[in-house]
Structure 1
Amino acid sequence: MLDKVIENNRVSIIGEVVSEFEFSHEVFGEGFYLVNVSVNRLSDMVDIIPLMISERLVDVTKDYRGRKIEVSGQFRSYNRHEGVKNKLILSIFVREMQFIEEEEIPEEQARTNQIFLDGYVCKPPVYRKTPLGREIADILVAVNRPYGKSDYIPCIAWGRNARYASTIEVGGHLQIWGRVQSREYTKKISEEQVEKRVAYEVSVSKIDVVEEEEA
C-alpha cells in the first residue's frame, strides 16, 4: 500500500544549489530544512525550486551554493496560517539526493526536471486564453498520501491539453506528466501597494483521464 501511494507522486530534478539551508519544522525530533535549487529549462530561463530536506540526509550546517545536486522525491503541499488566511506552500520533499560534478552529468540529463502525478481534480478547471490567443487551463489536483493526507498541486496545461483538461469534472481521476516550474507574478495588496511573489506549479506535457472500474 505504501509503495503504491508513493508511486502516485514522483519527481526528479538536477540543478544547482542557490541558497543556504533554512529551518522549516521538526517532526519527532527530526529537523527539516528548505533550500533553493536552480533548474535549467530548454530555453535560457531557469526555475528556482524549493527542496524540503531532512537533516538526516545532509549536513545542513554547510553552505553548498554552487554545487550540482540530483534529487528524487515528491511534490508536496501544506497550508501555512498567515493571520486569518491560509497560504499553500509547495516544495519537493526529498527522499534521495546526491551531489554530482558537472562533468558527470550526461548532456541529455543536464536539464532534468520530471514529475508524474496520479490524483483527482478537486475544483473546476479554469480555462482561458491569453491576449495573444494561447489556451491555458489551471487544474488543482489532490494526490493522496499515507495516513489520510493529501497534497494539493496546482497544474497548468496549454493548447489541446488545456482544452482537454477543461472538460474534466471535479472528482475526475487523472494522471499528469510534466515538470515543476516557478513563476513570478504581481499581487495587488492595496490601491497603492503591489508585491512580487513566486508561484510553484506543474507545467503539464501530457494528461490522461483514468476510467474507474465499476464495483
Structure 2
Amino acid sequence: MSEKMIENNKVSVIGEIISGFTFSHEVFGEGFYMVDVAVNRLSEQADVIPLMISERLIDVEANYIGCTMEALGQFRSYNRHEGTKNRLVLSIFVREIHFLEEFTDYTKTNQIFLDGYICKAPIYRKTPLGREIADLLLAVNRPYGKSDYIPCIAWGRNARYASGFEVGARVKVWGRVQSREYTKKLSETECEKRIAYEVSVSKLECAE
C-alpha cells in the first residue's frame, strides 16, 4: 500500500479491551477478528469502538479483557447486506498494537485525521437549544479504486463553515472517533437499539 494512501486516513486510540475476539473474515489465508475497546472521554464517558485485527498481530485465542492497548490504523467502512438493504459498518483496521502498563494522558486517547471528498450535500441543523450541527459524509480513497465512507459531525462555527461545502470538495478533518446509541424504527410496533460510529470534528479545512 502506498504511503500516500495511508497518510490520508490515520487513527490512534488507547483504551481497555472489553470483549473477546470474534471471527470476521479471511483473506488469502489470513484471518481477521473483531474486538471492542472502551476509550475514555474527558467527560468520563467512554466510546466503545470496534477494532478489526489480523491474527498475525495478536493471539486471538488469548483473553485480553481488562488490558490497556494502543491501536494505530485506519477508520474503514464496508456495506453489509441486510435483507434488501445495505448497512454501512465502520471499524478501525489495526496496523499496529501496543500494550500499556498504565496510561494517564486522556487527551491523547482518541485521535483521527482524514483527507477525503464530500460525497453528499452536508446536512446543517440546530438543536432545540440552538446548538449548530452539520453532518458530513466523507469518501476517503484507498488503493485499488476502493474508498471508505466516513460519517463526520461538526459543531458550532465548524458546522456553519462545513454547511457551505459542495459535493466533490476535498476536505481535511481532525477529530475523534465516537460511538452513539440510537433507536432504529423497524416497523410500526418494533424498534431496535443500535450503535452508530462517526468522527466528531474538532478542526476541518477545505483543501481545494
**TM, length-normalised to structure 2:** 0.98
Partner-residue secondary structure (3-state), 2:157: helix
Mapped to 1, the partners of 2:84 and 2:186 lie a distance apart of 15
Native 8 Å contact 2:41 2:106 kept in 1: no
Aligned to 1:82: 82
Residue of structure 1 in register with 2:34 after alignment: 34
CA separation in 1, counterparts of 2:161 and 2:22? 40
Deviations 1:136-188 (A, max 9, x none): 00000000001110000000000010011110000000100000000000111
Q: 1:82-161 alignment to 2 at 5 Å?
A: 82-102=82-102, 105=103, 107-109=104-106, 112-161=109-158
In structure 2, the gaps of 5 or more residues are none
Is the alpha carbon distance of 1:184 and 1:59 closer, same or farther for their aligned partners in structure 2, counting shifts above 3 Å?
A: same
Change (3 A) 1:159 1:5: same
Gaps of 5+ in 1: none
TM-score (structure 1 length as normaliser): 0.95
Counterpart amino acid of 1:38? Answer: A
Identical counterparts, % of pairs: 72
Alpha-carbon spacing, 1:117–1:110, altered in 2? closer, same or farther (3 Å): closer
Q: Is the 8 A contact 2:42 2:107 kept in 1?
A: no
- For 2:142 and 2:125, how far apart are their aligned partners in 1? 31
Instruction: Give distance in 2, aligned partners of 1:40 and 1:133.
Output: 27
User: SS state of the match for residue 161, structure 1?
Assistant: helix
Report deviation, 1:111: 5.0
Q: Distance in 1 between matches of 2:176 and 2:153?
A: 10
C-alpha displacement of 1:62: 1.1
1:24 aligns with 24
Paired residues of 1:11 and 1:113 also in contact (CA < 8 A): yes
Residue identity opposite 2:165 in structure 1: I
Q: Is the Cα contact below 8 Å between 1:14 and 1:110 reproduced in 2?
A: no
Task: Name the residue aligned to 1:169.
Answer: 166
After superposition, give the CA deviation of every residue in 1:26-59 in whole Å (9 maximum; x if it has no partner).
0011000000000000102100000000000000
The C-alpha deviation readout for 1:94-133, integer Å capped at 9, x for no partner, is: 000011112xx2x324651000000000000000111111
Structure 1 position 199, deviation (Å): 0.0
In the alignment, the residues of structure 1 paired with residue 62 and residue 35 of structure 2 have an alpha-carbon distance, to the nearest angstrom, of: 12
Segments ≥4 residues shifted beyond 2 Å: 107-111
Indicate the SS of the match to 1:117. strand
CA–CA distance in structure 1, aligned partners of residues 37 and 7 of structure 2: 23
CA distance in 1, matches of 2:107, 2:68: 10
| Amino acid paired to 1:136 | I
Matched with 2:62 is 62
Give the paired residue count: 208
Q: 1:210 is matched by which residue type in structure 2?
A: A
8 Å Cα contact 1:39/1:111 also seen in 2: no
